[in-house]
Amino acid sequence: MHFRDLLLSMILASGCAAAPPLPDPARRRAVVDAIAAADAALSPDDREARHARLAASAHAFFRGTPERFWRDLGADPRLERYGGVTSHAWVVGDAHVENFGCQENARREVVYDINDFDEVVVADVQLDLWRLATSVVLTLREQGDLDAAAQREVVEVLARAYLARLGDGDAAREHRLTAREAYGLLDDLLIETESGEGRAKLLDRWTAARDGRQVLDTGRADLAAAPELEPALRAAWPGYLASVDAAAFPPGYFAVKSVARRLGAGTASLGVARYYVLVEGPTSSPGDDRILDVKEQRAPAGPAPAGLAPEERVVAGARALAPLGDSHLGHLRAGGRGFTVVERSPYRGQLSARAPTSEVRRATRSPSSGRTSRPRATRAQGERARAPALSAGPAATRLGSRRSSSRSPSSRPMRPPPTTRPSSPGAPAPGAEPRPAGAARGARPH
């Protein structure tokens, strides 16, 4: 059986994506019980909100329950057919079409890339492909525009593009997908996102003037005062600064001006402690303040690397997979819990995963740039030139890259591994950055 055939059979016949789902009453009850146990610590309001989001669609359920994916497929014996120890590397762990979007990288460029690393682990790279492809199929089924044969073709293109990027070498690690490399709906999105009001709009949304100072607006329904953790966060701030290259920023850049608790964000992460911290930024002007997103990190759904706390795992994995990612990315411990810290980017454009495929196929004009989208790529331009479309799900027929620039989430190759392996298969040695044993693969946790 060829790899693509195995992939297709896994996606189109597995319990995650098969129709009808969960035919076995015992399995159905086991899944319900597992979700109930996992959500037991949530407040009644958060539990109700999470269950409503999971019930919205098959894809919403899939993206909100990564632990079910890992429990069902994380140790699947079919992984050994094309993988094993040599195919272990950092993987996103929760690859799906809604975990891609526009963001600002360390070079202050607006790029299109993976934007969620909360579930990053060291595992077989095939698992990222399986999860992303299942997400694509579920999205296409919800759209209803493509029949099973067309869905199969989309998955085949995705598999080929993913495998091609695995062998691209170190150049893939440094590549970034900007408007210059993209075309069609994707460069329209990047141009529109970059040309928007950006930071001014972000600060206007999340801050307010109080007593002559700019602070986070706790009058919003999704922000609240944080007396329970603010003193501990401020006390832990030097630990965060030690985890980033603070010397690369202007003096006073990270001076804390305001702290607030972020409410109601996420699906799988709903109920996880999350805070916004307003810092001074490059000057004393309130117009260039920065909002940092401080998010609690817990054990991943996949196999946790040995020797790394949850917040250290996320930072190490994100830096390995996205070396040009957010320069604010770091971690701290406060109140006995671990948190990651990233910038709340003013550039958050995202392609709609619900746009009908027929709409996506049409040439469109960006309202901000007035440019007409380019025609879609032909097969002669190569499978890798079409990979970003697959990452974005429904735009598979219209998106691409002019320089074979797209990538699947874990397809950035890394350097050879150390000669000694940790005791846990695929896990990094304590304090070390994992490397793959073969040719296996801004960004920010979200």
Give the pLDDT of residue 333.
97
Question: What are the DSSP calls for 338-374, one per residue?
Answer: EEEEEE--S------TTS-HHHHHS--B-TTT-PBPP
User: Would you say residue 56 has pLDDT above 70?
Assistant: yes
Q: At residue 359, does pLDDT exceed 90?
A: no
pLDDT score of 415 more than 60: no
The token pair that represents 322 in the structure block: 């996205």
Q: For residue 84, what pLDDT band results from cuts at 50, 70 and 90?
A: confident
Q: What angle do CA 383, 385, 391 make, to 5 degrees?
A: 90
- Give the per-residue pLDDT at 351: 72
**Which of the four pLDDT bands, split at 50, 70 and 90, describes residue 206?**
very high
pLDDT of residue 371: 36
Is pLDDT at 433 greater than 60 in this prediction? no
Instruction: Band the pLDDT of 268: cuts 50, 70, 90.
Output: low
pLDDT digits (tens, 9 = 90+) for 127-162: 999 999 999 999 999 999 899 999 999 999 999 988
The rounded distance, in Å, linking the Cα atoms of 126 and 124 is 5
CA distance 78 to 380: 32
> Which of 43-57, 156-170, 302-316, 385-399 is the most confident on average?
302-316
- Pick the more confident residue, 333 or 50: 333
Asked if residue 269 lies in contact with residue 118, where contact means CB atoms within 8 angstroms, the answer is: yes
CB half-sphere exposure, 259, CA atoms < 13 A: 18
Q: Is 267 in contact with 63 (CB distance < 8 Å)? A: yes
Separation CA 412–CA 169 (nearest Å): 8
The stretch 5-27 carries a mean pLDDT of 52
User: What is the DSSP annotation of 375-434?
Assistant: PPPPGGG-GGGGHHHHHTSTTTTT-EETTS----TT----PPPPSSPPSSTTPPPTT---
Nearest-angstrom CA–CA distance, 3 and 138: 20
| Residue 23, pLDDT above cutoff 80 | no
Which pLDDT score is estimated for 197?
Answer: 65
pLDDT band at 21 (very low <50, low <70, confident <90, very high): low
Average pLDDT on 280-286 reads 96
Question: pTM here?
Answer: 0.76
Task: Assess whether the previous peptide bond of 300 is cis (omega < 30° from 0).
Answer: no
- Answer yes or no: is pLDDT of 87 > 70: yes
Say if residues 277 and 230 touch (Cβ distance below 8 Å): no
How many CB atoms are located within 10 Å of the residue 369 CB? 15
Q: How confident is the model at residue 310 (pLDDT cuts 50, 70, 90)?
A: very high
Q: What is the mean pLDDT of residues 336-347?
A: 94
Q: In the predicted model, what is the mean pLDDT of the chain?
A: 77
Q: Where are the alpha helices (DSSP H) in 65-198?
A: 66-73, 79-82, 126-143, 148-166, 171-174, 185-195
More confident residue, 339 or 429: 339
Q: With 60 as the cut, is the pLDDT of residue 88 above it?
A: yes
String of DSSP letters for 203-253: HHHHEEEETTEEEE-TTSTTEE--TTTHHHHHHHHHHHHHTTTGGGSPTTT
The DSSP H or E segment spanning 387 is: helix 387-391
For the ranges 90-94, 294-298, 371-375, the lowest mean pLDDT is seen at 371-375
Amino acid making up residue 8: L
At residue 34, the 3 state secondary structure works out as: helix
Note the pLDDT of residue 169: 66
Bigger pLDDT: 231 or 361? 231
- Evaluate if residue 296 carries a pLDDT over 70: yes
Q: Measure the CA–CA gap between 371 and 192, rounded to whole angstroms.
A: 10
pLDDT at 117 over 90: yes
- Tens digit of each residue's pLDDT (9 = 90 or more) over 377-410: 322 233 333 333 333 333 332 333 443 333 333 3
Amino acid at 20: P
Q: Alpha-carbon distance 424 to 56, whole Å? A: 38
Q: Do 252 and 280 touch, CB atoms closer than 8 A? A: yes
pLDDT at residue 182 tops 60: yes
Beta-strand (E) ranges in 19-145?
88-91, 100-104, 110-114, 121-124
